[in-house]
Amino acid sequence: MFQLVEDNRRNLERQGKTVPIITEDDIRTHYTQHEISLASVLVEDLRAVRKLQRRLLEQKSPPIAQVLQLSRTSISLLNKLDKIKSIPIAQAVYKYD
């Protein structure tokens, strides 16, 4: 991971861009303390689906098949969101020894 970050940093610097220095310790700290909320990911996905659906419905002749597919996707996301209410929301991504 660190090597990938370093390679990207060097490439950006060659393009004349200012890039912050990220150490291996920074990466380790980020991935051990970073937590992802499954609920927030589902909510963001739901917002994106609904936004797409609204935009399609604003068209003069909305593509009904896509609107229906987005409706099914929206319902699926809501069902998943409902199921995770009983489990801890934040989970650590990586653990280093």
Domain residue limits, the chain:
1-33, 37-97
CA–CA gap between residue 7 and residue 36 (Å, rounded)? 26
> Helix, strand, or coil here: 35?
strand
- Return the percentage of the chain with pLDDT > 70, whole number: 85
Confidence class for position 96, pLDDT limits 50, 70, 90:
low
Our CA dihedral for 73, 78, 84, 90, rounded to 10 degrees, sits at 80
Q: Would you state the structure tokens that stand for residue 88, as one six-digit string?
A: 């801890």
pLDDT, tens only, 16-41: 988 888 888 888 887 777 667 788 88
pLDDT digit string, tens, across residues 74-91 = 999 999 988 886 555 555
**pLDDT grade, residue 2 (50/70/90)?**
confident
